[in-house]
Amino acid sequence: MKLKEIPIYISKFLKFITEDVWRAVPQDLSQKKWRGYTLIKVVTLAVRRYQADNLQRSASALTYSTFLSLIPLLAVLMAIAKGFGFRNIVESQLFEYFSGQREILTTVFGFVDSYMQHTKDGVFLGLGLILLLYTVFGLISNIENTFNMIWQVPKGRSYFRRYTDYFSVFLLLPVFLVCSSGISILFATTFNTLKEYQVIAPVSEIMITIVPLIVSILFFTGLYMFMPNTKVQFKHAFYAGIFAAICFQTFQYLYINGQMWVSKYNAIYGSFALLPLLLLWMQLSWVICLIGAEIAYAGQNVQNFEFESDSKNISRRYLDFLTLTIAALIIKRFEKDEKPYTAIEIAYQYRIPIRLTKQIIYLLMDLGIINELKDDDNYPNYQPAININHITVEYLFNKIDRQGSENFKVDNKHKFRSEWDTILQCRTDMFRNNKELLIKDIVIEKLK
């Protein structure tokens, strides 16, 4: 490859990841190649969405909220753990899980003990306890809002659901830490007895070291499934959890092994160095977490972005064609008394981009042409909302033409009356020869 050809290859590569790969459909590719294309699309979409959602700023905001809520958060967690009799186990697990922050955790736990002692003595009882819970729940609410923004969920949980769900998390988190501690002890005990076997000993050491990774995967997977106020499929949350856990554990390893550099930093700032280092650690941890959330979103919704550039630039007549086609498919399925279509079925069977399919379905619902039903699995499907013997082509497009506001200051009664009449006459002439043509009859002619 010659040097002057490099820009050509770069241009082809950029065109491939921005346009060509999004025009591919599974019917035209082998299963192996389609999986490769899907992986490319997921990674590309996650990068694009990370930039579009400005997650660097979101990570900074969450870092600030986490820093302010750190002591109240651990105070609530330790109080619940103490109630179950798990305080020492939970504390040791936190030290093990955040091994790069032992000095910070030691200091923070000192503040937590003091905080809890004052609460016990009644100094902060009442108003202080309310402020403590408000601070903690406010942090989790900020996390939920960020995840909802990533998933494009317009509405979060209700206040009742927030408090019940969040409180459930705090009850389960100590149990999760105790279970992970039990797993670690079980692995360590089991494999220590096998060290005398030369073949098994290396394997046992590897298994012990990957226990924190397994715990991280479970934690991130649960976070990605629970936190957004929408249904997240397990496999996508799990893949994103694996990515986030590997990145987090790698970051932990680099952070711990970078203590030589940290000691030089301490020589300059002294004990004050703990704060900027803690903030840096929190910031990068949140960046990793939010990138994982973007990967989960991209994996579950990648099909919504197929033919994205073409869909944004679709011509008016082709949009009308697809609108008529989707309306005809739904009406014909109803006429045959068959199971109603879902959006995915229409998109997959007839190679219509899923984003356009959903856009047109929402339009038809707004026009009152179709309505949404839920099947036994609570999945939406669609059928006509009115008598199909009344839905003509003219009726459909008249509804489309009239949708929206016409309440403007342009004088179409006098000054521009001729232009307005011309538009109306064009619409009338368009359906003159097929004024009474029912959409269901077009389907019979074309699809039988």
Which residues of the chain, if any, have pLDDT below 50?
Answer: 123-124, 444-448
The pLDDT assigned to 257 comes to 65
| Residues in contact with 252: Cβ distance below 8 Å, sequence separation at least 6, in sequence order | 98, 99, 100
| Torsions phi, psi for 438 (to 5 deg) | -80, 145
User: What is the DSSP annotation of 84-133?
Assistant: HT-HHHHHHHHHHHTGGGHHHHHHHHHHHHHHHHHHHTTSSTTHHHHHHH
Beta-bridged to residue 381, according to DSSP, are 373
Q: If DSSP states are collapsed to H, E and C, what string results for 34-93?
A: HHHHHHHHHHHHHHHHHHHCCHHHHHHHHHHHHHHHHHHHHHHHHHHHHHHCCHHHHHHH
The pLDDT assigned to 36 comes to 83
Entry pTM:
0.66
User: What is the DSSP annotation of 397-412?
Assistant: HHHHHH-S----S--T
| Torsions phi, psi for 426 (to 5 deg) | -60, -40
Q: DSSP character for 383?
A: E
The pLDDT assigned to 265 comes to 55
| Torsions phi, psi for 392 (to 5 deg) | -95, 165
CA distances to 47, 158, 295 from 98, in Å: 28, 33, 24
What's the gap between Cα 378 and its chain centre?
A: 20
Distance CA 298, CA 371 (A): 28
In the chain, what is the greatest distance between 2 CA atoms, to the nearest angstrom?
99
Q: How many CA atoms does the CB half-sphere of 343 hold within 13 Å?
A: 23
Distance CA 145, CA 229 (A): 9
The pLDDT assigned to 237 comes to 92
The pLDDT assigned to 446 comes to 44
The pLDDT assigned to 371 comes to 92
The pLDDT assigned to 126 comes to 53
